[in-house]
Each structure stands twice: as structure tokens, then as C-alpha cells.
Structure 1
Amino acid sequence: MAVKLNATKRENLTKSATKEIRLSGKIPAVVYGKEKESKSVVIDSIELVKTVRDEGRNAIISLDVENDGAVDVMLHDYQIDPIKDQLIHADFYVVNMSEEMDVAVTLRLDGEAQGSKDGGVLQQPLYEIQVRAKPGSIPEEISVDVSALEVGDSLTVADIPTEGSYEILDEQDTTIATVVPPTTEEDFETDTDENAEPELVGAEKEDKE
């Protein structure tokens, strides 16, 4: 079920109007889609942030535009003010609930790897998975249990459990998690000794003189 978000039409596109919109706690946004005419709207910044935080980045949003009815959309892109760290613009893509689409889904590693308990280091080279699914079947995130991984073991895309009505698009042999051997203090000292500058012969004698 789509979560509802209200919006109003944006008629005045001048910079001064945009500034006023942001000062009021709202942001300008654009709604567009395949064979759809783009619309400029205004939405509440706090409500959008709350919606994405609660429902996830790939949530289906029923965007109810004042005097224009509701439409199913997904947050496609957004802009953040790098200085104030505030949301300043958003793009919404109109979705067809019966058509598949390609999206990025967060990959989460669950559990504590046995190799980590034994002193190894768990590394995660991939944090997002590309999937293809109908909008209503897009998972909020995909989780993989790594508790059985020993030092030297790794997991690939092929090891991701196939649950839900979606297709994973990444290459099957792409590594998603691995446990590398620990770097011991002895190894560090050896590396330090090898990289140290050679001692100057006779330097100590010259200093004393």
C-alpha cells in the first residue's frame, strides 16, 4: 500500500518564489514519467524526509496534488544543500504498478561472522544490489546472513537467498562479503622494519665527537 504525501501545484517558477518556498519549510519538486507531462509542485520537506526514513528509499508514494488528484510515484532523485545539509529539491517518477523497473536496493549483512570472532576482518565491497521488479514487489532492503563465514571465506551475489518477486541484475560472481585474515602486530612491526631507513654507519660516533 502506497504512503500518502500531499503537494500543491507550483505556478511561479522565479528564483524569488523558490526562495520563499524553502524559507517556509517546503521544497520545489518535479513529477515526471514515461509519456507523462512533467509537473512542478511544492511539498513539505519534513514530511518527505519522514516518509523516506520510515518507508525506505524505494517506497511507493501516493502523491496527492491539490486539485489534480493522486498519482503513484517513487523518489527518483533529490538535492541537498552542502552547507546547510538541508533538502532543497526532489524529483518524483510516476510509476506503472504493472510494469517492472530497475532500481538499487540496500544490501545488509546480518550476524557476526565466525571469522570475525577468530580475529579476521569482515569486509563488504558491495552496499547496493540492482534489482528488477514491479513497483509493489521492490524490497526495502536485501539481507544476507554472514555468521557462518570463516577467515578466507566470501559470499557472492549467487549466495543471496532468492526471496520475493524480483530479479537480481548484478553478476553472479560479484563479491558481496569476505573475511580477510587479521593483520597481526608482528606483521606490522615487520613491515615497519622493512620500510625503515638504513642506519648510517658511523653516525653515532660522529655525534659523540
Structure 2
Amino acid sequence: MSTVLSVTKRETGHRSTLTQLRKGGAIPAVIYGYKVDSTPISIAAKDFKKSIQKNGQNSVFSLELEGKKVNAVVSEIQQCSLKDEVNHIDFLAINMAEELEADVPIKLLGQSVGVSEGGILMQPNLELKVKVKPTELPESIDVDISSLKIGESLTVADIRDATPVEIISEDDYMLVTIVAPVSVEEETTENEEGQESV
């Protein structure tokens, strides 16, 4: 079910205009895509935040703009790292009948056996690219890592068949790996060997 949000067309241009918008509790944004010319808009920050908390960032938004409703998904969010505030949003207008490509966060489930034994968990990639109908877009892709031992890894090939949506990312796309810790003894031995060879 889409979330209905009211948006307002805005004038582009001066940075001071954007600052005023943000001070007034609005977020500058843009909408483009299916049957929509690129249009600068603004949206109430509290409404957007409430919607994200309730439905997640990957939900479909029904944007009301000048009496017209446009189905859209969030393409990009720019945030201020210092204040944890949203500075700008890109909305992509979509055709609800067609599949779309989207980046979905990877959610690791369980406690790895390897980590329990002292291994270090490495997650080189935080998102997966999927192809799915807008109404079926997941908030995250769950990956069970509980059986992973030290030296073992998981790639897309390991989860593709068990994932309910089509994953576009390549089979060798690394999701998580458990690496062996470097012990103090090993470090000491390496240092001694290095000193002897000098």
C-alpha cells in the first residue's frame, strides 16, 4: 500500500531559498521519471520522517502535486552527517505495472559460529541490487550467517535460490566473510622475524 504525501512545487535557484525551506520544516526534493518531467518540489520534513518510520524507505509513495497523484520511490536521500537531518530527496516516478531495479540493504541474521570462536566479521557490501514489482519491494534482504565458520564466506550465489525476489548482482558478489584474528603471538613472531632479517 502506498503512502500518500502532499508535496509543493518550488522555485529553483538561490541557496538561501533552500535554507529558508529547511528552516520552515520542509525538505527540498525533486521528482522525475515515468510520465513526469523533472520537477523541483518540497515536502514537510515531519510527514516524510513519520512515513519512513512507519513504512520504511523502500515503500511506494503516492505524491500529491497540484491535484495529481504520482507513484514514486525514493531514489536518493542526502543527509547532513552532523545534524542527522535530510537535506534533499530524489523521488523516482514509477509505473506500478512494471518491475524496477532498486538497491536493498542486506540484513545479517544470527550469530556466526566463527565470530563466537574469535573470528572477525567483514561485510564488504551493504546492499544488493534487485528487480521487483514496486508493491513487492522488500525493506531488506535477510541473510542467515549463524553457520559461518572462520575462513568461510557468503556470496550472492549462496542465497540467490532462497531469496524471494530476483537479485541482479553477480553470483560472486561478496556479502560477508569471517576472517581469522591475528593473535598477539603471531604479531610478535612476525616482528622478531622482521628484525632478524635486517
| Mapping for residues 27-176 of structure 1, pairs under 5 Å | 27-65=27-65, 67-81=66-80, 84-160=83-159, 162-164=162-164, 166-176=165-175
| CA shift in 2, pair 1:24/1:181, >3 Å | same
User: Structure 1: which 5+ residue stretches go unaligned?
Assistant: 200-209
Q: Distance in 2 between matches of 1:80 and 1:177?
A: 27
Deviation for aligned residue 1:99:
0.7
| DSSP 3-state at the match of 1:99 | coil
| DSSP 3-state at the match of 1:147 | coil
Deviates more, 1:147-156 or 1:13-22: 13-22
Q: Percent identity?
A: 36
Larger Rg: 1
| DSSP 3-state at the match of 2:96 | coil
1:24 is matched with: 24
Q: Distance in 2 between matches of 1:150 and 1:169?
A: 27
Q: Distance in 1 between matches of 2:63 and 2:177?
A: 41
Query: Is the 2:118–2:181 Cα contact (8 Å) retained in structure 1?
Result: yes
In structure 1, give the amino acid aligned to 2:101. Answer: D
| CA shift in 2, pair 1:195/1:50, >3 Å | farther
Deviation for aligned residue 1:148:
0.9
In structure 2, give the amino acid aligned to 1:178. Answer: T
Deviation for aligned residue 1:196:
4.6
In structure 1, give the amino acid aligned to 2:40. Answer: S
Deviation for aligned residue 1:175:
2.3
1:203 is matched with: none
| CA shift in 2, pair 1:28/1:173, >3 Å | closer
Work out whether 1:9 is the aligned partner of 2:9: yes
Number of aligned residue pairs: 196
Deviates more, 1:14-23 or 1:37-46: 14-23
Deviation for aligned residue 1:25:
1.1
Deviation for aligned residue 1:82:
5.5
Query: Is the 2:58–2:73 Cα contact (8 Å) retained in structure 1?
Result: yes
In structure 1, give the amino acid aligned to 2:154. Answer: L
In structure 2, give the amino acid aligned to 1:4. Answer: V
Deviates more, 1:25-34 or 1:130-139: 25-34
User: Structure 2: which 5+ residue stretches go unaligned?
Assistant: none
Q: TM-score, normalised by structure 1?
A: 0.82
Query: Is the 2:34–2:95 Cα contact (8 Å) retained in structure 1?
Result: no
Deviates more, 1:50-59 or 1:120-129: 50-59
Deviations 1:126-161 (CA, angstroms, capped at 9, x unpaired) = 211111111111111001111111222221111115
